[in-house]
A = this chain, B = another copy of it.
């Protein structure tokens, strides 16, 4: 510890552990393993941009001292993040870029990679640090295999959510509902994280700054799609966490969905409540990347969402735009609200997390 400062007892809802395809090899069955070792398999490459920062998508100081990329080493992450901040718990959200979960072909390979990833994650992270909880990775394009994988690793006591890539899916579509049925049955949250969606009507904008500015629109689309397609009417215990999109777009979207529901509810008669009530009951949002704001402005947004219970702090470690829990929230927030954002909202979201602080 380099500084004298209080520990935060944070529940961090977005930490990216990282693995290379090469490191996954021991966890991968043949023929998939052989495609990588012998057949020059090349992963899907999508984003047509340079990297946003000097260390790519990562904090330069998060590179492992032995030269491996940021997020690759548990010991280094423990020291730099968990011990330094004082994490009570952290939820791992993965990083294998681009993720097999949104591969646009060869779903069999994607499913095999997801299985290998989950095994690697459990062995090297979840079972080695009591503070870390994990996400079940799946192949989004193969629902049958996805459900099998949820059945296989979902019961693990350290697995708390199923991670779905936003990409260009429409997650409210009934085609995907078996995933929600399985998640609900295993007390798993659905975590949704963008995975390089091609914004602008399926096309790439010209600059990374445009793409990154507009990421919340992809989150808006998924929330709207999930709500109006009746996912939360069909799976009344299901909870959704929207990861790495922030929350400052939600006052607008909640107001807009309510207004549209007043005007057009004849089209979706299975929706029996105001959309903003559905959001408040079923969906939460991670903070990062949090815009700089005054307390006044921040509290206006909380007021407009009609609840203090929807926002969960996330650092997004080790990404370039990491939010420090010591600096990201506006100064002088009330202590009760800070505690909700730093831990209690996440604890209420994840039924598999120890429910009273300190564990019991």
A220 at the interface (CB under 8 A from B): yes
Interface size class of A (residues with CB under 8 A): 35 or more
Closest chain B CB from A206 CB (angstroms): 6
A291 at the interface (CB under 8 A from B): yes
Interface residues of A in 45-70 (CB under 8 A from B): 52
Interchain CB contact (< 8 A) of A170 among B197, B205, B208, B228: B205
A214 at the interface (CB under 8 A from B): yes
Docked CA distance A304–B252 (Å): 12
Contact between B224 and A256, CB atoms less than 8 A apart = no
Contact between B210 and A228, CB atoms less than 8 A apart = yes
A300 at the interface (CB under 8 A from B): yes
A37 at the interface (CB under 8 A from B): no
Contact between B197 and A210, CB atoms less than 8 A apart = no
Residue numbers of A with Cβ under 8 A of B are 52, 168, 170, 172-173, 197-203, 205-210, 212-214, 216-218, 220-221, 224-225, 228-229, 246, 248-249, 251-253, 255-265, 267-268, 289, 291-293, 297, 300, 303-304, 321
Docked CA distance A60–B208 (Å): 45
> Given the complex, which residues of B lie within 8 Å of A251, measured CB to CB?
252
Closest chain B CB from A98 CB (angstroms): 16
For the A-B complex with A52-B267, A168-B201 known, give 5 more contacts whose Cβ atoms are closer than 8 Å.
Answer: A52-B264, A202-B203, A248-B252, A249-B256, A263-B321
Given contacts A52-B263, A202-B201, contact A207 B228 (CB under 8 A): yes
> Given the complex, which residues of B lie within 8 Å of A261, measured CB to CB?
209
Contact between B249 and A209, CB atoms less than 8 A apart = no
> Given the complex, which residues of B lie within 8 Å of A228, measured CB to CB?
206-207, 209-210, 213
Given contacts A201-B199, A217-B217, A291-B259, contact A264 B206 (CB under 8 A): no
Interchain CB contact (< 8 A) of A252 among B207, B216, B221, B264: B216
Contact between A249 and B248, CB atoms less than 8 A apart = no
